[in-house]
Amino acid sequence: MALAVAPTLSDLAVRLTSTASVLRGDGHTLVMLEGEQDIASSFALADSLAIAIALDDLDLIVDLSNVRFMGADTIGILIRARSFLREQSRTLTLRAPSAFAKRVLDLCEWRDPTPALKLVALPD
């Protein structure tokens, strides 16, 4: 009989859903989204972000470079995650939005005057 061994959090590079992966880096936790982020994937996205937030007290980076579609539910989930992190003096950074994701963020007038949300591009 084989004994099941749980992976350690220190080596976390887990594929949580078909559309999100969580990686821990130096001083931050990275959630990489891909594909279509819509109502069908909203529960999985919320779960992925909740797991990433609960892992530690690091800031959270959400990479949007491979997002092909992003619905209103996704924006709502990101806003709730940002608010929760802000209460803990942590930040949410949206990184490298795809052309579609950037358009949705622009249409939603995704702005925040506080440092709790930053929108950055990948370095060249």
Q: Domain limits of the chain?
A: 14-120
Of 67, 64, 55, 69, whose CA–CA distance to 24 is shortest?
A: 55
Pick the CATH number of 14-120 from 3.60.21.10, 3.30.1370.60, 3.30.750.24, 3.40.190.10: 3.30.750.24
| pLDDT the model gives residue 12 | 43
Q: Is 67 helix (H, G, I), strand (E, B) or coil?
A: strand
What stretches in the chain show pLDDT beneath 70?
1-18, 111-124
pTM assigned to the model: 0.73
What pLDDT score does 84 carry?
A: 93
16 contacts 47 by C-beta, under 8 angstroms: yes
**Please, are residues 7 and 14 in contact by the beta-carbon 8 Å criterion?**
yes
The pLDDT, as a whole number, for residue 111 is 61
pLDDT tens per residue, range 30-64: 899 999 998 888 898 999 999 999 988 899 999 99
| Cα torsion angle, 37, 39, 43, 49, sign | positive
Distance CA 1, CA 59 (A): 41
